[in-house]
Each structure stands twice: as structure tokens, then as C-alpha cells.
Structure 1
């Protein structure tokens, strides 16, 4: 009987074109034709999870502790059949059950089928509903989920954006819609942030909208206070950068940036408005880059302030090795002296090799080898200049 049931369910999982209702009917018909299923304690949950749901033995052992009350496969069979009709593959089923074993205890008639009907009415396709089950199966039994989706779908613009927003963690599904999410969205709109940018924020960092509204308002004001306009593409990054920072910590970081890079108030404001992530960089990281860019590479503080992305590049794997190569080429008359430093750092590795290494194979046959060594933290003698 177990082998027959496994075969039936395997066939269902391999037939994604069937509808949930037809899949369930096929299962029930097959069950009706077979001998009655025993409800004795001999039903082995762990074996069922491995043989029918595709879990590993370790996953099944962990999941079975939450299903110890099951004495029969009848309810899990119905759930598996329903999910197969929804479009779940064997891998999808294993992932969903491993994430939320109690999914197998759900009532198809009272819970799953009505929920799918409501989600379909919202405009989600069968494949999108299946992805929603996979991403948020633990939260699908929340009574508020449909009303939340009714709010989020117009805000985010499409089911695809919604799924992207809850892909990492279901902050939007778990947060209080009326007391937290809606007030935060309303405040952004009051400050002139358009819905398309709010949608980007939900997708990029959905946890931000779940922050306490009072602190959220402070964050928006701080983001504006550091010189990032609400209309700027950097405003979303600014919100991320000031999240969980107090006003005092922001002020202290600004002062450190001014000291390390010898910036005026205006220069610090320019740099932070272009790269708000500087507010979250460690002092050690900033100090090492200041020492290299100003003391060794000889760049002016104002030059760095207007190009703060320089501070985000790897010092040992990119900035310093490329500086050595360009300095070597200039010293040997292989490159014009007015070549801008920033233009050599911001290009991709492939383009850097094509422009600064490959053309000089004959004049500097060891340059590629020396550059590779410099990227590993070594400084070949040929690249050293006093």
C-alpha cells in the first residue's frame, strides 16, 4: 500500500499541468480503489517524509518531531496531491515540507483550497502562488495574509515584485499593516517619495518599512539631514545607512570622516550624499584608505570627496595594485602623465588588463606577473619607487 501510494503521488508531482481539484480527485479515486489505510500507530512519519516528500533522512528526523501526532497518511497525501496540482515539483515539495512540516497537517478543504482561490482572485497565477507557498509557507496560515497582499500588490506594482520583496524574509507579511507599514508608507509619500521608489525600497530592504514608525520618521529626517535629496537615487541607500544609528553616532561618524580625509563640512556633505554607506564603514577601514589615497597616491581631499566610491574598492586587491601599475607605466614613459587615477580604478578587471597590461607585453614582459603578485599582497621590486 505504501509503495502504491508513493507511486500515485510521484505521478502527481511529475504532472504540473493538472489543476489542484483534478489532482485531488485523482488521489481520492486511487485511494478509494485501494484497500483502506490503516490508522494504527505503525504509520512511520519519518519514512513517509523520505519516501513521499523527498526529504533527506536528517531533515525527516528533524521534521518528524512536529508530526508525531499523525497516525495515518490520509491528510498528508491530500496536501501532497493538492500541492502537486498547484505545480509543485518533487524538489519544491521537499523544500516546503522541510521549511514547514506542519504544512502536511493543513486541511485542503478548509485552508489550502480557499486560500488559493483568494490568491487567484487577487490576480496571482498558479506558478506565482506556488512560489508564494515556497517563500512564505510558515506564514500562510495567518488570517491577515490576503488583506496584506491586497495592499502590497498595488504598491509594489506586480506579483513578481511582491515575491522578490519576501524572498529573503517575510518582513512584510509579519509586520503590522495598520500600525507600522501603512504609517511608514504614508510618511514617505508626505515627504515626496513616489510609490515607484517605495516599491524599490520594499524589494531592496523590506525590513526598513517594518521599523517602528517614530524611529522610521527620524531615519527619514536624518537621511535628509546628511544631504541626500528625497528625489535622489541615493535616498534609499541613505535610509539603509542610517537605520539603527542614533543621531549622535551619525554626527560622530561625520566628524571622523572630516578628520581622516581632511574634509571641510561642505566636502564631507558631498561625499556622504554620493555614498551614504560611509556612515557605516569602520574607522580602521576608512583610516587605511585615507593613508593610501592621500599620503601614498597623493590625491587631494576634495578629489576624494567628489569620488567617494574610491573608498569602497578593495585596497589590496584593486586600488593599490593598479596604482603601482600606472605609476610604473608613467615612470617608464609608457603612459601619458595626465591619466586620471579614478578612471583606472573604477573600470572592470577585464578592461584594466586590456588597457594597461596587455599593450605593454613587449616593453614590460613581467608586468602581468608583477600585477598578479601585487593583487596577492606582494610588492615586486620592479613596481617599487622611492
Structure 2
């Protein structure tokens, strides 16, 4: 898609084409730049306010998005917003970061840099937050600028640091859940008091806050009911598993919980067996339905084990399918096929044992250990390749790409697998999503030109800016 846009810039450098001429020369672009339908030969962009033009030209919004954002913020001159953008750029915010920040909180463009922005940015840095940390927190939760530094942010940070007994751990909790800085010290203290009153030790409360900082925004009555429910399940408040159970239960909705129960029931497990597994290993119920199905299919259908055995040893389910379970299951099948292990073999250690000891215990002592080790390493290597690229495949799937789409995109542009998911693929997709206002249209664009995912957001934004400046978009 943007190959055509880039081409148009080069060709049009000597002769400026009108929007009509541009679309006549590039008719296919109409099916991919949906937001262009709002642009016509009357040059209607000029009819919109200064705010809309600024949001498009300086922040990278599409016309549709700029019109929506302009309902929440208004200015007639560039002075204030320019000073705000300068601060963010000086702190390392990219165009995509600024775009997301302004989209979430448009009023930030009217902030006073010296009194509202800089003191809070400097506060984060003084506490040990790295520049990427600050950018991530502000981009995802710009409302932090809304609160008083002295009356809210500093007291909230100090409370967390004291509760967690570590500045570094407090930083991790805030990175995990920036909204925690919005919670008053009084409300956080009430949550802690409820846990203490129910017999949860301070060290376990710290564990809960560190792993599930959103617990601090809990409704107190709901928290009390949850504590009672977890206690009735068989967890003791003094044990660390108690707060792990709370974390798991607060991370899934009731409907999701029921779906996970249904998946386990399909494999023949009773309510009692599922509860027993949860009490032994609470993370057992944090697994996705797909992971539960995959683990059960591997052990029950492929290895012939009983589902009840998995429920009695629930830690099995927590291991990586690609890195551990599947390679070792294949080795076990290999050993059985060679008559080196009985088909009825059941061993928790076979899957629990660390890598170095696993080879000593289950491979090295066999006469043909070299052949077995070679087989195992082949499966591990294959697994490592799958593991390395799995997050990218899952990302494409989460955005709506079908399996044939995966194959088409990757086979036509395999270099995409070398690109960073977080630093390149996701930002590029998000930029296109904002530009085209539709994931479906973005998918069509990527299928037509997968190489676009290799384009830097800054470069794409510059291309769009040039087209806008020349009246094309």
C-alpha cells in the first residue's frame, strides 16, 4: 500500500498532482485508505478548525480521529500544544507514543510544561524509572498528569515503596499497573488492613501487591467476600498460596472461570478433582482454555495417561508446551517404541526435572543414548524455532489474520520474522490501524504488501505528512 504512496511522492516531486489525478493514477488505493473517502476536490480539510488541522499535521491523526478528539480539546494557536510536544520529544517520545497519549487524554496538549509536565517527568526519573519506563507509563496512562505531585503521586509511591520494602519492586508494580498512582494512600491502607485482619502476613501482602497491583483498587466488600471464598476452598490465609489464589481469581471473570471448568470437565475431571488441583497449584486455573486443551490432548490422547493423574500433579500444565512438554513427550514415545520404557510408564520427574538432570536421569544411561540424545536435540531445536516465532504468529492471529493469511504474509516476506514484535511489528500495525481506522483494512493492506510491517512509524508518518502537505490526503 505505502509502496504506492512512496512512489507517488517521488513522481510528484516535479509535478504536483491533484487528489482526483492521484486517485486516477492509483485507483487501488481507494480500497485501502478508507479514511480518504472524507477528502474531496473541495479540499474540505481547510473547512475544519485549527485544532483539527493541528491534530492531523503535528500529531498524526486521521481526519476522522482528529474530528473526534477535537470535541475534547480546543485551541486557536500552536503555542501551548507546541510547547507540550517539545517536552515529550525531548524525553524520547516517538510519534506513535505521542499519538496514543493525545488520543487517550487530549487535554494534555493544554498542559503547562513547567508546572504540570516537567516536575512529574523529573520525579519518575529521580525514583529510578528508565526513560523507556516513563514513556510506557505516560503513553498508557497519561492521566498521571492530572494528579498533584505532592498530594498524590509522591505519597502513593512512598506507600508502595514502604509496603514492598523496595524502590525497584515499587517501580515494577507501577509499570505493571500505572493506575495505582491514582489510588489514595488512605484507600491503599484500607485494602492492606482488610488483608491483615483476615490473617494474611505482611510479606504475603507484599507478594500480592507486587504480582497483582490492581488489588489496590478493589472494592472492600468484594475483597472480603473473595477472601472468604478462597478460605472456604481450602487455602489458609497464612500461606503464600492464599494470595496466589486471590491473584488468579481476580484475573479472570466469572464467565471465563466457568469456561475453564467446562474444559476440564470435558476431560472427565470432577468438581472435586478440579478444586483439589487448584488448591495444590493455583496457577492451574490461570492457563488459557487453549493451553488446557493442548496439555490434556498431549498427555491423554498422545501418551495415554489418565486426566486424573494430571489433576493430581497440576504443575505439569504450567510448563511450556514447545520448550519442554512436547519434546519430552516425543522422547518418551521414542523410548517406548524402542522397548526401553514400559508403555504404562508414568513419571512426574520425567517432565519436572531440570534440563541437565533430565539428560542424566533419562537419556545418558541407555546403551544407545547417542541416538536418543540426537532425537531429543532435534525436537528441541524445532521447538526453539517455533517458540521464537510463536509470539509473532499469535499476534497476527489476535489481530484477525486467518491461517492462510499467516502463510501468505510470511512466505512472501519471511524477513518479518526477524523483526522485533514490540519495537517494530506492533507499532507499525497500530500506526496503520489509526490511519485506516479498521483492522480489517490493515490486514488487507499487509497481505498486499507485507513489507509495510518493516517500515518505521516515523518514516510512514513522514510520508503521510508529505501527502497531506501536498493536498493529496
> Normalised by the shorter chain, which TM-score bucket?
0.5 to 0.7
Residue pairs, 1:42-61, within 5 angstroms: 44-45=50-51, 48-49=54-55, 55=60, 61=66
1:37 corresponding residue in structure 2: none
The change in CA–CA distance for 1:65 and 1:50 in structure 2 (over 3 A counts) is closer
Instruction: Tell me how far apart the structure 2 counterparts of residues 108 and 283 of structure 1 sit (CA, whole Å).
Output: 47
- 1:319-366 Cα offsets, whole Å, 9 max, x none, are 577445424423424458897533333468999899769945499989
1:307 aligns with 2:293: no
Greater RCO, 1 or 2 (C-alpha within 8 Å, sep 6+): 2
1:97 aligns with 2:102: yes
1:161 aligns with 2:164: no
1:77 aligns with 2:91: no
Q: Is the 8 A contact 1:135 1:167 kept in 2?
A: no
1:141 corresponding residue in structure 2: 146
1:343 corresponding residue in structure 2: 349
The SS at the match of 1:329 is: helix
Instruction: Tell me how far apart the structure 1 counterparts of residues 61 and 323 of structure 2 sit (CA, whole Å).
Output: 41
2:206 corresponding residue in structure 1: 199
The change in CA–CA distance for 1:120 and 1:335 in structure 2 (over 3 A counts) is closer
Higher helix fraction (1 or 2): 2
Instruction: Tell me how far apart the structure 2 counterparts of residues 98 and 120 of structure 1 sit (CA, whole Å).
Output: 22
Instruction: Tell me how far apart the structure 2 counterparts of residues 270 and 80 of structure 1 sit (CA, whole Å).
Output: 55
Kindly state the Cα deviation for residue 72 of structure 1 after the two structures are TM-superposed. 0.9
Which of structures 1 and 2 has the bigger CA Rg? 1
Q: Is the 8 A contact 1:63 1:101 kept in 2?
A: no
Q: What TM-score do you get using the length of structure 1 for normalisation?
A: 0.59
The change in CA–CA distance for 1:241 and 1:132 in structure 2 (over 3 A counts) is closer
Instruction: Tell me how far apart the structure 1 counterparts of residues 84 and 294 of structure 2 sit (CA, whole Å).
Output: 57
- 1:120-161 Cα offsets, whole Å, 9 max, x none, are 799567957666534431242135633433433322445543
1:212 corresponding residue in structure 2: 219
The change in CA–CA distance for 1:58 and 1:188 in structure 2 (over 3 A counts) is farther
Return the match for 1:275 from 253, 276, 281: 281
Q: What TM-score do you get using the length of structure 2 for normalisation?
A: 0.50
Residue pairs, 1:1-80, within 5 angstroms: 44-45=50-51, 48-49=54-55, 55=60, 61=66, 65-66=70-71, 69-80=74-85
Instruction: Tell me how far apart the structure 1 counterparts of residues 248 and 130 of structure 2 sit (CA, whole Å).
Output: 38
Q: Is the 8 A contact 2:208 2:243 kept in 1?
A: yes
Q: Is the 8 A contact 2:283 2:318 kept in 1?
A: no
Instruction: Tell me how far apart the structure 2 counterparts of residues 364 and 80 of structure 1 sit (CA, whole Å).
Output: 57
Q: Is the 8 A contact 1:42 1:71 kept in 2?
A: no
Instruction: Tell me how far apart the structure 1 counterparts of residues 319 and 74 of structure 2 sit (CA, whole Å).
Output: 55
The change in CA–CA distance for 1:372 and 1:216 in structure 2 (over 3 A counts) is same
Instruction: Tell me how far apart the structure 2 counterparts of residues 242 and 364 of structure 1 sit (CA, whole Å).
Output: 43
Instruction: Tell me how far apart the structure 2 counterparts of residues 220 and 177 of structure 1 sit (CA, whole Å).
Output: 22
The SS at the match of 1:201 is: helix
Instruction: Tell me how far apart the structure 2 counterparts of residues 345 and 363 of structure 1 sit (CA, whole Å).
Output: 16
1:225 corresponding residue in structure 2: 232
Instruction: Tell me how far apart the structure 1 counterparts of residues 356 and 54 of structure 2 sit (CA, whole Å).
Output: 52
- 1:7-58 Cα offsets, whole Å, 9 max, x none, are xxxxxxxxxxxxxxxxxxxxxxxxxxxxxxxxxx9984455456655x4657
Instruction: Tell me how far apart the structure 2 counterparts of residues 157 and 133 of structure 1 sit (CA, whole Å).
Output: 25
1:178 corresponding residue in structure 2: 186
Q: How many residues align?
A: 324
Gaps of 5+ in 1: 1-40, 377-386
Q: Is the 8 A contact 1:293 1:299 kept in 2?
A: yes
The SS at the match of 1:341 is: coil
Instruction: Tell me how far apart the structure 2 counterparts of residues 120 and 279 of structure 1 sit (CA, whole Å).
Output: 36
Moved more, 59-68 or 149-158: 59-68
2:241 corresponding residue in structure 1: 234
Instruction: Tell me how far apart the structure 2 counterparts of residues 58 and 88 of structure 1 sit (CA, whole Å).
Output: 26
The SS at the match of 1:140 is: helix
Instruction: Tell me how far apart the structure 2 counterparts of residues 123 and 367 of structure 1 sit (CA, whole Å).
Output: 45
Q: Is the 8 A contact 2:208 2:247 kept in 1?
A: no
Kindly state the Cα deviation for residue 291 of structure 1 after the two structures are TM-superposed. 8.3
- 1:269-297 Cα offsets, whole Å, 9 max, x none, are 65322222445679998799678757875
1:151 aligns with 2:159: yes
Instruction: Tell me how far apart the structure 2 counterparts of residues 214 and 70 of structure 1 sit (CA, whole Å).
Output: 44
